[in-house]
Structure 1
Amino acid sequence: MNFEIDALAWDKQDGLLPAIVQDAATRRVLMLGYMNREALTATLGSGKVTFFSRSKQRLWMKGESSGDVLELAGIETDCDADTLLVQAHPRGPTCHLKRVSCFPAAPSDELAELDALIAQRERERPAGSYTTKLFESGIRRMAQKVGEEGVETALAAVAQDEDALLGEAADLLYHLIVLLRARGLSLADALRVLEARRG
């Protein structure tokens, strides 16, 4: 968050800046709101995304009545300093219609969504869930499953069966994410290693 609040282009739209909210994990666009100086200051101070409600003419913290808050992960400005990109961790649905996003077809990172779902399964351990069963089977069994799926993926590639290859690759990705989570890691951690290797 390397910007000066006073350096933003507050004068362009009567003291308001559009604030595009994006899920920090999945990159899905969640909503559009507006911030004035006070809303931005409140967001930075509390860590909870706060807007200026044009209809209510007051500050409005997302989730103040529903409890579905947006926890701040980061903010950046565009090249003209007149629009904000707010990255947040949603704690519940963002849309008032109880949808994940106010834009129902907004694209997202499917692997990041799977990683988030697996993290939720690890925390909650719902009965009857295959993911719960894997977590309770222990690291060795999870590692064995990753090995099995890796071999099956390679065999499907050698057999030149595209449908089988895609299915086995999906199984491998799922089991790998479970194994990472069991070790206290995430898919994002592995992606950071890849990013560091990029030349």
Structure 2
Amino acid sequence: MKIMQFLDQLSKVIEDRRDNPREGSYTCYLFASGEDEILKKIGEEAVEVILAAKGQGHQRIVEEVSDLLYHVLVLLSLKRVNLDEIEEELRRRHGK
């Protein structure tokens, strides 16, 4: 499965958690905690990506970037920004 297909699928799961909260779900916890908590997590994960890149090895980079992408997807869902909009903007920037 291509990354955009998987991210789209994951986004749909996140949107479902937003619209249909489930007890014990970390995603639901983030939505219930609000925007500031989601932004805080994005900041923390961004720092962890930097630290991983500065010498913690390949696998740590993979893990931390995965965490960052997940939390960004939660923010996009909160703000109701569609991944198609992100793809469109990236394509526009690259002239495609």
- TM-score norm. by structure 1 comes to 0.45
Residues 147-190 of structure 1: CA distance to partner in whole angstroms, max 9, x if unpaired? 11011011101115111100000000000000111111122222
Residue matched to 2:9: 113
Residue matched to 2:34: 138
Residue matched to 1:194: 90
Superposed, 1:38-187 pairs within 5 Å as 107=1, 109-187=5-83
**Bigger strand share:** 1
- Give percent identity, aligned residues only: 38
Give the Cα separation in 1 of the matches to 2:80 and 2:74. Answer: 10
Residue matched to 1:5: none
**Bigger helix share:** 2
Which of these two proteins has the greater Rg computed from alpha carbons?
1
- The answer as to whether partners of 1:146 and 1:176 remain within 8 angstroms in 2 is yes
Give the Cα separation in 2 of the matches to 1:135 and 1:185. Answer: 15
RMSD: 1.2
Give the Cα separation in 1 of the matches to 2:57 and 2:88. Answer: 32
Give the Cα separation in 1 of the matches to 2:56 and 2:34. Answer: 33
Count of residues in correspondence between the two structures: 93
- TM-score norm. by structure 2 comes to 0.90
- The answer as to whether partners of 1:134 and 1:142 remain within 8 angstroms in 2 is yes
Letter in 2 for 1:188: D
Give the Cα separation in 1 of the matches to 2:74 and 2:83. Answer: 9
